[in-house]
Amino acid sequence: MGSMDKFNRLLIFLFMLIGTALTLTGQTGGDVSLSMDILGWSDEGHFAWIETVKEGGREQNILKVVDLVTDSIVYSEGFSAGGQQAVLNRYGIEAGKKGTPQQGSRLVHQGTLYDIELFSESDRVNIRLKNINGGTYKEVNTAPLGGDEMEIRGSVISPFEKRAALVFLRKGEGHGEYMVMGAHLTLGFRAVPLEQEPLIEAVLNGQYYICRLILEKGTDPDSVGDDRGYPPLLLAARTGNWDIARLLLDYGARGDLKDGEGSSPADYARRAGEGELADKMEKAK
């Protein structure tokens, strides 16, 4: 084993150790402090937490829910003891599914290291996630700051798919709040945009929820292809995105189309030990 491999393994071990905390904290200046107590995720991509603001002798608790498919806050209000569970039920959030929190600007998932990077530009901040092992990156989001500052606080890996909630502390004059943005820890890392059809982009990025949204709007899964003409199901099979492959089949994708090597989606599935799925693919014509 080379010295670089040993170094990566050591880093991964260290980040796994510090990734067990379930609360992120931050100081916003003066006597104002914040904490984020993670509640859980839904399989629809919603992430919930309680944000506690302490200022002087006062304390305020706010329940927040973010849709990490669209990166939009869908709920942000104070709550009662009985009202918390009602909100979680509304968004399908399982309180026991807290995911894997990790603090700091670096995270690890399934043996791969990622850096969360911020780039300020005018009154906006650009967010990028870099795959350290592969040397590639993806642009995650851009957010207006309006004179505020933003610090990286950590991340939380979803228990449902290869998705992370990137957590930032936004600080202004005498106030602060947590911002959460979603990022896929999948094959979509690249140095330049793919500039493909939306469904193709979503498949190559491993974005299950985005694929489902596109298909729900009526897109025929066999009506688009990449630059080589490969349809979404074939791409999902070639990249091993089996959950997306099942989704495409549910929406009527054909399973008999082959790539330039003469392999069909079923061929890739069988090689990966997905025999039952391969059988389903062979019947989808």
| Residue 109 phi, psi (nearest 5) | -150, 120
Residue 16 scores a pLDDT above 60: no
- The mean per-residue pLDDT over the stretch 114-121 comes to 88
> What length does the chain have?
285
Sheet arrangement for strand 23-29: 23-29, 32-41, 46-55, 58-67, 72-77
Residue listed under structure tokens 């054909």: 254
Could you tell me the two tokens for 121?
């530009």
What is the predicted pLDDT for the residue at 31? 61
| Phi and psi, residue 125, nearest 5° | -125, 130
Domains, in order of start, for the chain? 3-184 (no CATH), 198-283 (1.25.40.20)
Work out the mean pLDDT of the chain and round it to a whole number.
Answer: 82
Mean pLDDT within 152-161: 90
The pLDDT, as a whole number, for residue 29 is 54
On the question of pLDDT at 211 being above 80, the answer is: yes
**Residue 146, H or E segment:** none
pLDDT tens for each residue of 2-12: 554 554 554 44
**C-alpha–C-alpha distance, residues 49 and 41, integer Å:** 9
Distance separating alpha carbons of residues 248 and 238, to the nearest angstrom: 14
pTM of the predicted structure, to 2 decimals: 0.67
CB atoms within 10 A of CB 7: 10
- Helical axes 242-250 vs 275-283, angle rounded to 10°: 30
Place of tokens 């069988």: 270
Looking at per-residue pLDDT, the higher value among 174 and 178 belongs to 178
Output the six-digit token pair for 2: 């080379």
What's the pLDDT at 133? 81
* Mean pLDDT value of segment 118-133: 84
